[in-house]
């Protein structure tokens, strides 16, 4: 393992003491890191409140704000809620809950990205309901989802890229696998809470269609036309462009126990292991292959792909998870952050941008929680320390334009609080009740407690036969 970053040594200085640069993180260090992650979350949140409330995103260098569309959707607070609540910032969380109930309007004449608002807004609202039981928040979630449903009224049942929240008008008939098939989880949870199967059935219909489009060797491509159901890009991969489709097959099975979804997962993961997995020394890579032949077409992987070891760990495949995680850890060690696109054959950065993404931390979090092997806690400490060292601004955290120069960019994605800080904190915080055995985390890291989803209501409310 590479040396701990400087700021981490300062933080744990008295705790790491003479054990030096490569010392492992002790329980006392982890407790100090948990306090630090909590404090960093609060100061970042307060900067958002001061400079950007209630807009979609904080600009962390110029201390301004940015909205995705003409009228703000308040994505940051809705996405941040579960992290603040888990960390015990009840006052800040309550402010968001009250805002959602009183001021958040879903009736906007705006064409929104169906995929993005599903995972950040619908998922965020559902988690506020999960953690508060507020029926008014659930009403907002239902009303928001009702405005997404027209997106699925295509000839194939696959969703269009954009839907207008007020008029239901759709546009954009080319979507990738993640954009087509990542609704099962949020829509299933909404069906469970409301007793209306339409949401889950709409999402499952899209997943069924996608599954039926697999090649003779069982792989999906990348992009498709939702009007015709034809592939427009036939490269197959596990990460960016496809990731949360695979993730939601398994996570939805964990929460809802739908055998049809489990069958789709089983078939898909075997095809991935047979045709995409590429062992290399002790490491395991998942590159890009042709969906029809399985022939490798590229060794370019993206920072989003680094979620896959976490999914493997969750599904019980610890051996592959460890080897795939080790591959990503090497990339991190080489750059001190992870570049957006990386070629593992040439060991070269293809796109050097870093967006404060959580995936490398997320995977180490799952491995730490499921194996108890402290090397994964050390990894999270290293990642957290590097992010603090390179991405910290005067008031918050920023994207990095180039991981080779560490030049900052004036952006802070909402998943930084929703995911990156949450997974860091939960890794450091020993015995936290929010753990991956008892909770299932959405792709945006919103946690839902398994015990809250009970048979026979699941089958009835979701319409599972």
Give the interface with ligand DMJ as residue ranges (CB under 6 A).
119, 243-244, 304, 357-359, 415, 443-444
Assess contact for 122 and 190: CB atoms under 8 A: yes
Closer residue to ligand DMJ in complex, CB, 287/358:
358
Closer residue to ligand DMJ in complex, CB, 16/400:
400
d(CA 339, CA 170): 34
CB of 10 to ligand DMJ, least distance (A): 28
The Cβ-side half-sphere exposure at 350, using a 13 Å CA radius, reads: 14
CB of 414 to ligand DMJ, least distance (A): 8
Check whether the bond before 456 is cis (ω within 30° of 0).
yes
d(CA 297, CA 293): 10
Give residues with Cβ within 8 angstroms of 15, minimum separation 6: 26, 28, 29, 32
d(CA 244, CA 250): 10
CB of 223 to ligand DMJ, least distance (A): 16
CB of 401 to ligand DMJ, least distance (A): 17
Assess contact for 83 and 70: CB atoms under 8 A: no
Quote helix, strand, coil % in the chain, to nearest 5: 55, 15, 35
CB of 304 to ligand DMJ, least distance (A): 5
Closer residue to ligand DMJ in complex, CB, 420/461:
420
CB of 1 to ligand DMJ, least distance (A): 24
CB of 333 to ligand DMJ, least distance (A): 20
| Among candidate residues 329, 295, 324, the one with its CA nearest the CA of residue 312 | 324
Neighbours of 456 (CB within 10 A): 8
Closer residue to ligand DMJ in complex, CB, 236/355:
355
Closer residue to ligand DMJ in complex, CB, 30/340:
340
Give the H/E segment covering residue 65. Answer: strand 64-66
**Residue 163 pairs with which residues in a beta bridge?**
112, 170
Neighbours of 348 (CB within 10 A): 12
Written as six digits, the tokens of 380 are 């999270």
Closer residue to ligand DMJ in complex, CB, 8/177:
177
Assess contact for 398 and 411: CB atoms under 8 A: yes
Closer residue to ligand DMJ in complex, CB, 231/245:
245
Closer residue to ligand DMJ in complex, CB, 52/119:
119
Assess contact for 428 and 361: CB atoms under 8 A: no
CB of 241 to ligand DMJ, least distance (A): 10
Closer residue to ligand DMJ in complex, CB, 15/177:
177
Q: Where are the alpha helices (DSSP H) in 57-197?
A: 75-86, 90-102, 114-117, 123-132, 135-148, 177-181, 184-194
CB of 320 to ligand DMJ, least distance (A): 20
Please tell me whether residue 407 adopts helix, strand or coil conformation: strand
């Amino acid at each position: 393992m590479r040396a701990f970053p400087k700021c981490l040594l300062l933080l744990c200085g008295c705790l790491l003491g003479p054990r030096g640069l490569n010392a492992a993180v002790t329980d006392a260090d982890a407790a100090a890191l948990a306090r630090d992650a909590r404090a960093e979350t609060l100061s970042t949140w307060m900067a958002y409140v001061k400079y950007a409330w209630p807009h979609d995103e904080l600009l962390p260098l110029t201390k301004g704000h940015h909205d995705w569309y003409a009228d703000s959707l308040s994505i940051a607070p809705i996405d941040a809620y579960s992290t603040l609540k888990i960390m015990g910032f009840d006052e800040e969380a309550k402010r968001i809950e009250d805002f959602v109930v009183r001021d958040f309007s879903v009736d906007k004449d705006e064409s929104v990205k169906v995929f993005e608002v599903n995972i950040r807004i619908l998922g965020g609202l559902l988690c506020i309901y999960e953690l508060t039981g507020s029926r008014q928040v659930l009403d907002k979630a239902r009303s928001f989802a009702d405005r997404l449903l027209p997106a699925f009224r295509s000839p194939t049942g696959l969703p269009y890229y954009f839907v207008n929240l007020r008029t239901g008008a759709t546009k954009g008939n080319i979507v990738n696998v993640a954009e087509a098939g990542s609704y099962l989880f949020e829509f299933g949870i909404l069906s469970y809470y409301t007793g209306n199967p339409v949401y889950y059935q709409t999402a499952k219909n899209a997943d069924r269609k996608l599954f039926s489009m697999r090649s003779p060797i069982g792989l999906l491509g990348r992009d498709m036309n939702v009007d015709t159901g034809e592939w427009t890009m036939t490269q197959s991969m596990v990460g960016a462009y496809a990731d949360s489709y695979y993730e939601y097959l398994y996570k939805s099975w964990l929460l809802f126990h739908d055998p049809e979804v489990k069958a789709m997962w089983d078939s898909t993961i075997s095809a991935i292991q047979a045709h995409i997995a590429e062992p290399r020394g002790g490491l395991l890579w998942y590159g890009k292959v042709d969906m029809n032949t399985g022939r490798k077409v590229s060794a370019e992987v993206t920072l989003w792909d680094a979620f896959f070891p976490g999914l493997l760990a969750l599904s019980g495949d610890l051996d592959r998870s460890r080897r795939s995680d080790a591959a990503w850890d090497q990339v991190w060690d080489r750059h001190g952050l992870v570049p957006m696109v990386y070629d593992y054959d040439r060991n070269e950065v293809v796109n050097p941008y870093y967006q404060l993404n959580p995936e490398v931390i997320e995977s180490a979090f799952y491995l730490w929680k499921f194996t108890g092997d402290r090397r994964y806690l050390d990894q999270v400490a290293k990642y957290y320390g590097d992010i603090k060292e390179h991405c910290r601004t005067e008031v918050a955290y920023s994207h990095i334009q180039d991981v080779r120069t560490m030049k900052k960019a004036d952006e802070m994605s909402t998943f930084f609080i929703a995911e990156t800080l949450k997974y860091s904190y939960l890794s450091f915080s020993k015995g936290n009740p929010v753990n991956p055995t008892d909770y299932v985390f959405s792709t945006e890291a919103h946690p839902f407690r398994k015990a809250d989803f009970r048979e026979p209501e699941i089958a009835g409310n979701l319409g599972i036969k």
